[in-house]
Amino acid sequence: MASDASLDEREERRGTGDRGFDPAGRLAERDQRGLRRELTPIAAVRGRSPIADDPGADEPVFDGPEQLLFAANDYLGLAGDERVQRAAAETAREVGTGAGASRLVTGDTPAHRALERDLADAKNAERALVFSSGYATNVGVISALSPDVVFSDALNHASIVDGCRQARAETVVYDHCDPSDLRAKMAERAANGPAATGDAGESWLVLTDSVFSMDGDVAPLEPICDVVESFGAWLMVDEAHATGLYGGGGGIVQRAGLSDRVHVQMGTLSKALGSQGGYVAGSEALIDHLLNAARSFVFSTGLAPPAAGAAREALRIAREDDAHRERLWENVARLRDGLEDAGYEVWGETQICPVVVGDRDDAMALDDRLRSHDIVAPGIRPPTVPEGTSRIRVAPMATHTEDEIDRCLAAFREAGRELGLV
């Protein structure tokens, strides 16, 4: 949305016949508010890689030392796994590099169907459907369900927020991970909404991430299911940061044994599965409805077949080979313990380890110092997180060695001392 300043400028320019957009002015404004984002090219998607300064339209130059990357969502390191890479190459050869059309036209290939059968199996659902990204999945699914009212966790991902906007649903935000607040807000709506005057026909959708990407905590799904069921609503759970990491390659829903109490299970192929794309899993009727009504599925080219082939192989590895998951959890424990021993406050209980320092300038200074120690872990500040909770989001991978985890810890200790944070 344009700020007041740029609206004033636009008013002024209107008089001169200028109906353009002034991107440079908008960037300057972002700069002023400390909200300018930058790209950081990396040479390869691995736990260690050279990085380059943003060269704009020019070619990036990777002439520095290798950096240890603690910033990726490729938690199991499968984007660099030879078996996954081979599956992508074979699918490209056998099926094609692109789907060529919407799945509903001629883009529906055996690569998609095989992946969807395996995803449905991993999520204990009747059927699954893949989209070209997790973002497109949330936006498409929520708007196709077209709920009258959405109850959404305060820290849900932006793609859920955008899905609610596109659905034009009345959105009630409940306190983060708080089933009691959810119950109170649903009760209030039941007492004061149209149902109170005899119109019980409203459709209600409760939406929550299972693992929250910035806090690394886990939604209390069982009590949420109890609340949802007591009001006859539906529950949709976003397993973007959990898929492949728990219960036989499933997510938190599977770990908690709640597959049959969650109406819509959503996730991405782009994080622990090392590929690209999103999925939704549920009943046969739900999936049939979505492939008819989700605009980001209907009016978009099908997921690229090599991405489907790669995700399927990664899912197989996540389900059949415990070694990657075990390595990840060992690394997480070593890193969390080491950071806490060093005097940092580390939130969450998952592979996402947010090191909360509070002040936004401190977080960005720590990000900078870590980089000078060849450690890349991004500083996250408002508005992405609430004021006073700026942090470094540290995400170890299964493919980091013990020595690399220790190098990360040493850098945190030294940088923290230099900045007086620990």
Ligand X SMILES: Cc1ncc(COP(=O)(O)O)c(C=O)c1O
| Contact pattern from residue 227 through residue 256 relative to ligand X, giving x for each residue in contact according to CB under 6 A and a dash for the rest | -----------x-xx---------------
Specify the residue, 141 or 256, whose C-beta has the smaller distance to ligand X.
Answer: 141
Nearest distance from C-beta of residue 268 to ligand X, angstroms: 4
Contact (Cβ atoms closer than 8 angstroms) between residue 70 and residue 408: yes
Residues 6+ apart with CB under 8 A from 6: 22, 25, 26, 29
Residue among 49, 91, 138, 399 that touches ligand X (CB under 6 A) = 138
Active site residue 213: yes
Specify the residue, 310 or 405, whose C-beta has the smaller distance to ligand X.
Answer: 310
Tell me how long the chain is.
422
Stretch that binds ligand X, among 64-72, 129-137, 336-344, 408-416 (CB under 6 A): 129-137
* Separation CA 367–CA 330 (nearest Å): 24
Of 299, 338, 333, 315, the residue nearest 128 (C-alpha): 315
Residue among 109, 159, 331, 389 that touches ligand X (CB under 6 A) = 159
Nearest distance from C-beta of residue 368 to ligand X, angstroms: 24
Contact (Cβ atoms closer than 8 angstroms) between residue 73 and residue 395: yes
The amino acid sitting at 374 is D
Contact (Cβ atoms closer than 8 angstroms) between residue 111 and residue 309: yes
Q: Which of 132, 210, 213, 270 is catalytic?
A: 213
Residue among 70, 75, 135, 297 that touches ligand X (CB under 6 A) = 135
| Contact pattern from residue 189 through residue 218 relative to ligand X, giving x for each residue in contact according to CB under 6 A and a dash for the rest | --------------------x---x-----
* Separation CA 165–CA 362 (nearest Å): 34
Nearest distance from C-beta of residue 337 to ligand X, angstroms: 26
| Contact pattern from residue 273 through residue 302 relative to ligand X, giving x for each residue in contact according to CB under 6 A and a dash for the rest | -----x------------------------
Kindly list the distances between the CA atom of residue 215 and the CA atoms of 218, 246, 355, in Å, as whole numbers in the listed order: 9, 18, 9
Largest Cα separation within the chain, whole Å, is 69
Contact (Cβ atoms closer than 8 angstroms) between residue 370 and residue 377: yes
Stretch that binds ligand X, among 18-26, 134-142, 146-154, 248-256 (CB under 6 A): 134-142
Q: Which of 123, 157, 185, 241 is catalytic?
A: 241
Sign of the Cα pseudo-torsion (324, 330, 334, 335, in order): positive
Q: Which residue is nearest to ligand X (CB)?
A: 134
Kindly list the distances between the CA atom of residue 109 and the CA atoms of 91, 92, 94, 141, in Å, as whole numbers in the listed order: 10, 12, 11, 21
Residue among 208, 268, 300, 351 that touches ligand X (CB under 6 A) = 268
Judged by CB under 6 A, the number of residues near ligand X is: 14
Give the DSSP per-residue string, 240-290: TTTTTTBGGGB-HHHHTT-GGG-SEEEEESSSTT-S--EEEEE-HHHHHHH
Give the CA-trace dihedral at 359, 361, 366, 368, to 10 degrees: 160
Stretch that binds ligand X, among 22-30, 131-139, 176-184, 328-336 (CB under 6 A): 131-139
- Site membership for ligand X, residue 143 (CB under 6 A): no
Active site residue 185: no
Nearest distance from C-beta of residue 342 to ligand X, angstroms: 27
Helix (H, G, I), strand (E, B) or coil at 20: coil
Residue among 46, 48, 127, 157 that touches ligand X (CB under 6 A) = 157
Residue among 109, 270, 275, 389 that touches ligand X (CB under 6 A) = 270
Stretch that binds ligand X, among 76-84, 132-140, 144-152, 297-305 (CB under 6 A): 132-140
- Active-site positions read 213, 241, 271
- The contact set with ligand X (CB under 6 A) reads 133-135, 138, 157, 159, 209, 213, 238, 240-241, 268, 270, 278
